[in-house]
Structure 1
């Protein structure tokens, strides 16, 4: 690509280049990793326990610093001082798996306001962001509710609302559907769809290959021999990668293979991602 064309292209909002990381007195968890989160995509991150998913997410959000390589925001390397990390955290927000590790304030509204207040924003702007985030997560009625009286699903939504109030371009979620009942999962996925429609890029770490197939545009698979990223349907159809990542074949991919083998689905047609889509094909 020529220089002018490259400069005209917009850089990825957040990207790791040649990154390695090891915990103190331990082996390297990630080595020479290149990974970019592309604007506007729904990205699923999958891999077996201990594969480095949590480490990767914390590197992207600034919670960990690479031992080698760089983290860049909009193509510019992140400086790990106060100013650089503030810039990073207004671009990228991480919501951890257990909401009780993230919630600490007395009420829902107070908890969601913590991040914007730390940015030094005017009170009116903080109130606007809190109201916007509570509405986006469908928990506006819980603004004054003590956090210790929330259900598990409500605590999950409150933790996500706290991240959304920072108005990040990239929202990283660690196993966001874990512990939710089917209705809670559907409501959360609908919320993520609304956030994406407003321009938020979402990265979701999950062990659920069926959820990844249904929800994501792209999938990143962490395996012992490195990271493999590509379009979700094609990536999750690769049994060699799934085996190395310790994952099973999604049922939708298996169903599509059976339908094609029996001449019921064209080779170029997309396979079913949900039971409802399979039922529609049957009809």
Structure 2
């Protein structure tokens, strides 16, 4: 199947600087959530801007539906109608006086009829659960609300690919979970999330891409993010869930190949579920303490 978006042999260097990416091959498959991971300076932001047309590769090609993207007005409009990037800091993206005005800006620039713009804004606000904030001045929003408003502006463009740069950064745990629920409900949109949070990527993404000094490694998230050597090479800490699963298997508490708990909360619930007179809960607790995971 042809990827929605693909970079082929792409290289990029900023003026008077060394190459950030060199001969990079990277593809976004339709309908599969993708986590993009790497240390600061690894090229994540550059890669996202190349994919969304904010930067043009020095060499190589960006393809949309298998056709090369041109960097004239027509070509970039075609790309940005399909691919939207939401930057990490919502204050770098929000600029209009109210939430509704900000969310409507993109669709209006597409020259859509007023009724279509209104329908897209309504749908985007509902999807991000901020309909009640429609008339709220953007400068009076909380940080989490500003994050949602910025994402709603991209969602209103009805993109096929939504690229989010550290969308959970600065959010409390409840805010993170609510945002993940929102992203899961975006039908018809493939979500790409850049994050430093390996645990989040492990439990959220179908696929992962890890930027290392030797290039980009891609594959199914559960397998790729269970590779400790790969994560060390990318200067990322190990994912919590595979470590827990390995400890539980070593103690005979998890069958080979079975999926382990993805979060500490899930581990606690799983432990409680083993307490039906088998002593399993105590065994889980002992395993967790032995591994210093509690």
Q: TM-score, normalised by structure 1?
A: 0.94
Following the alignment from structure 1 to structure 2, what is the Cα–Cα distance between the partners of residues 248 and 178?
Answer: 17
Following the alignment from structure 2 to structure 1, what is the Cα–Cα distance between the partners of residues 92 and 110?
Answer: 21
Q: Residue 232 of structure 1 aligns with which residue?
A: 221
Unaligned runs of 5+ in 2: 274-294
Q: Residue 287 of structure 2 aligns with which residue?
A: none
Q: Residue 5 of structure 1 aligns with which residue?
A: none
The structure whose Rg is larger is: 2
Q: Residue 16 of structure 1 aligns with which residue?
A: 7
Q: Residue 191 of structure 1 aligns with which residue?
A: 182
Q: Residue 76 of structure 2 aligns with which residue?
A: 85
Following the alignment from structure 2 to structure 1, what is the Cα–Cα distance between the partners of residues 203 and 174?
Answer: 16
Q: Residue 220 of structure 1 aligns with which residue?
A: 209
| 1:269 alignment partner, SS class | coil
Give 1:257's match in structure 2, choosing from 239, 243, 246: 246
Deviation (angstroms), 1:111: 0.3
Matched, 1:201 2:190: yes
Q: Residue 95 of structure 2 aligns with which residue?
A: 104
Following the alignment from structure 1 to structure 2, what is the Cα–Cα distance between the partners of residues 280 and 179?
Answer: 27
Deviation (angstroms), 1:209: 0.7
Q: How does 1:88-167 map to 2 (within 5 A)?
A: 88-167=79-158
Q: Residue 38 of structure 1 aligns with which residue?
A: 29
Following the alignment from structure 1 to structure 2, what is the Cα–Cα distance between the partners of residues 134 and 27?
Answer: 42
**Pairwise CA RMSD:** 0.9
The list of structure 1 runs, each at least 4 consecutive aligned residues, that deviate by more than 4 angstroms after superposition, is none
| 2:106 alignment partner, SS class | helix
Matched, 1:279 2:279: no
Matched, 1:244 2:233: yes
Deviation (angstroms), 1:251: 1.1
Asked whether the equivalents of residues 171 and 200 of structure 1 are also in contact (C-alpha less than 8 Å), the reply is yes
Q: Residue 3 of structure 1 aligns with which residue?
A: none
Deviation (angstroms), 1:232: 1.1
Q: Deviations over 1:36-71 (max 9, x none)?
A: 001011111000000000000000000000000000
Asked whether the equivalents of residues 13 and 91 of structure 1 are also in contact (C-alpha less than 8 Å), the reply is no
Asked whether the equivalents of residues 272 and 278 of structure 1 are also in contact (C-alpha less than 8 Å), the reply is yes
Q: Deviations over 1:69-112 (max 9, x none)?
A: 00000000001011110110111000000000000000000000
Following the alignment from structure 1 to structure 2, what is the Cα–Cα distance between the partners of residues 76 and 260?
Answer: 47
| 1:90 alignment partner, SS class | helix
Q: Deviations over 1:88-145 (max 9, x none)?
A: 0111000000000000000000000010011011111101101110000000111111
Q: Deviations over 1:149-170 (max 9, x none)?
A: 1110110000000000000011
Following the alignment from structure 2 to structure 1, what is the Cα–Cα distance between the partners of residues 205 and 263?
Answer: 13
Deviation (angstroms), 1:264: 1.4
Following the alignment from structure 2 to structure 1, what is the Cα–Cα distance between the partners of residues 77 and 129?
Answer: 27
Deviation (angstroms), 1:267: 1.8
